[in-house]
Every structure is written in structure tokens, then in C-alpha cells.
Amino acid sequence: MAELEKTAAVDVATTFPRFSSLPAELRLIIWRFALPRRVFEIRRETVCLKQDGEVDVTEDVDHDSWRIRSSDLVAVQLAPPALLNVCREARKFALRSGSWRCVGSHPRGVNRVIRMATWFDPRTDILCFDDSASQLLTRRVTERNGLVTEYTNNPAITRMYFAGSPASPVCVSLAALAGSSGKFLVEQWQRKRGFWSGVPRYLFYHDSILMHLGRSPKVEEFFGKGVDRCHTLLVDAQDYAKLRRLRDLYVEESDSSFFQRRVADWLEDIINLDEGYSEQSYLDLRNLWLKAQDDVSSSAPILSTDQASAQMRSLIEPGAVLHTIQQFNHDDPWCRNVIKAMPDMQLVVHFRLCITNHDESLED
């Protein structure tokens, strides 16, 4: 009897045959919550690992099509959500703002160029990039839809392809503000119709963690599954409960050959309020924003002329030096005015799921 009751409870929890009888307003709300919340990362090097009719060279990964690769960190272009294949009403809802977006092209053979595209929905997806998306290749200045660009491979160029629909949230790494791309982003912020125009929410991250995990239910709880999987996860730095769960996930399920104790301890430090992680991250953000200005008045607001008093953590290994961050006197009138005009940016922690499925079954 108890077993029958348990089975019935499962049926009630997982099926709802009278869904079509719900009012249209309720059905639309359900479809909205069913859309995946994903992050599209813009990275510099774009490669295709598989073409129709070619030998499959991705036997150890659980997805195919296009990938964007830089070093050993790989971000995946987003596939159409599973909601498109549920029914006509769900498909119509998903197509209201989500669609294929061109993000560039890639040479393939002689006199052949392959158009690259990603699915993107500005209502639910976030556009994210770091310093790897910018190269110092000077070209003539171009302008399109109010966006002035000096570098052909600047991440803002990809933003052009998204300009035909409502702007999405944008997340930028501190590393992207440390060099020439930082000056570009600051300059665009000062324009009425620059890169930041219409962006509903601004985010930034100081640190990134690469997760070498399998595809267990616990992993899918965070990153999703199938076409709705998001290989990049941005977690509010104040969401200590979720950060702790991700820390436990890293400790319990990370591939032993890739597991690093210091990364787990590093995550514990982020959660520890006494470490002042958020305070230091915002301090670094303000200093990098100040450094990216073209009109630094004098050396008076600069505290560390040798640029060696602070360090920025690596995107791969915590504690490694990526950039030195010049310190400014934030009480200086010029600094106060610049900081006051900065965008209000939310601090997040960046997690990237390795495209390789590290389930033990694949190793057997």
C-alpha cells in the first residue's frame, strides 16, 4: 500500500495532463520559467571541431557543433532551447525574442567561409566576456548603430550582432578592464549610444573557476542538461549558500586528476566574510576604471606609481599574478567624480564547466 502511494505521488509530481486547460496567462508564465537562463561568452579564438560528414573528433564530450576556445578554457555557443520542440505555443513564446545571432565567421578550406551563430535570448541570457576577446590589431575606426570601434577583434564588435533586439545583461571580467579593452569600455560608457547603451544590468567578476565534472544530477542542477546546459555560471558573490554548494560540488565530484585543494580553500575564503572578498573586488574595479581614463589629471591621485602594490588573481589559478593594479587616492576630487559616474556593477563569481564529460564511465 505504501509503495502504491509513493508511485502515485511521483505521478502527480511529474505529470500534469490538464496543462492545456490552464488559462493562457498561466501557461505563458510557465513557459517563461521553462526557458533556460544561460551565459554566452565571447572569446577570441573560434574553431569548429566537427563538420557534417567529417570524422567525429569529440568522442569524449557530450555536445557537438561550434565551440569557442582559448587556452584550455572552452565556452560553448548556445543551442536553441528545448522549449522550441514542446508544442506550437511554447515554440511561439520562445521565438518572441530568442533567435539565432551571427557572431562572426571562420575560414574553412579554400575560398570557403563558415558563418558562426549562437542562439541568444536577451530576456534570459547574459553576454559575458574577458580580456581574451580583445586583440591589439589597430584598424580604421568604424561606427555602427552609435558604436565606435577601433579593433576588428574587440568584443564590442560581437555586441553589434545583438543590437537588433533589446539589450541583455552584460558581464565583464576585471581582466578586460586592465588593458586596452578597458579604455575602450570606459570610452563607450561616456557615449550616449555606446557599447553599454540599453543594458539593463551590469555585472563583473574578479575570479574564475574551471570545474572538471561529470554530468551527475547534482551537476545538472546547476548547469542544466542537454541543449539547455549552460557551461558558464555566474553566481552573486553575496549568495553564500549557492557558493558553498558549488564548493562542496567541486570537492565531491571534481575529477581527481584535476582536483586542486587550493581552489576549494579559495572558494571557502570567498564565502568567509572576514576575508573581505567583495570589498577588495570593488576596490580593484574602481582602480581599474580610474586607470582606464584618458584624462588622468596628474600623479597626485595615484598612490602606487610602481604599480606593484596589488595583485589580481589569475582566471585559472587563484593567487597567481595576472595583472598589477595601480592604486588611486579615492578621496581626490578627480577620482571621486570618475567613481561617481561609474556604472553600478554587481559582483559575481565565474564558474566554467569543462566541455569534457569527466564521468568515470568515459574513462573505462
Q: Where are the alpha helices (DSSP H) in the chain?
A: 2-14, 24-34, 88-94, 155-161, 180-189, 217-223, 240-253, 261-271, 277-291, 333-340, 360-363
pLDDT at 198: 83
- Residues in Cβ contact with 33 at an 8 Å cutoff, skipping those fewer than 6 apart: none
User: Does the CA dihedral 124-94-129-342 come out positive or negative?
Assistant: negative
- The neighbour count for residue 290, using CB atoms within 10 Å, is 23
Query: Over the stretch 286-328, which tens digit does the pLDDT of each residue have?
Result: 999 998 888 777 777 887 655 544 555 554 455 444 556 788 8
pLDDT higher than threshold 80 for residue 262: yes
Q: Which of 159, 117, 108, 154 is nearest to 132 (CA)?
A: 154
pTM of the model: 0.79
- Cell triple for residue 120? 541568444
Among residues 99, 111, 120, 106, the alpha carbon closest in space to that of 50 is found at 106
Residue 49 banded pLDDT, cuts 50, 70, 90:
very low
Per-residue pLDDT averaged across 323-352, rounded?
Answer: 89
Helix 333-340 crosses helix 277-291 at what angle (to 10 degrees)?
110
pLDDT digit string (tens) for 159-201?
555 555 568 899 988 888 877 778 878 888 887 667 787 889 9
Q: Which of 78, 292, 45, 47 is nearest to 175 (CA)?
A: 292
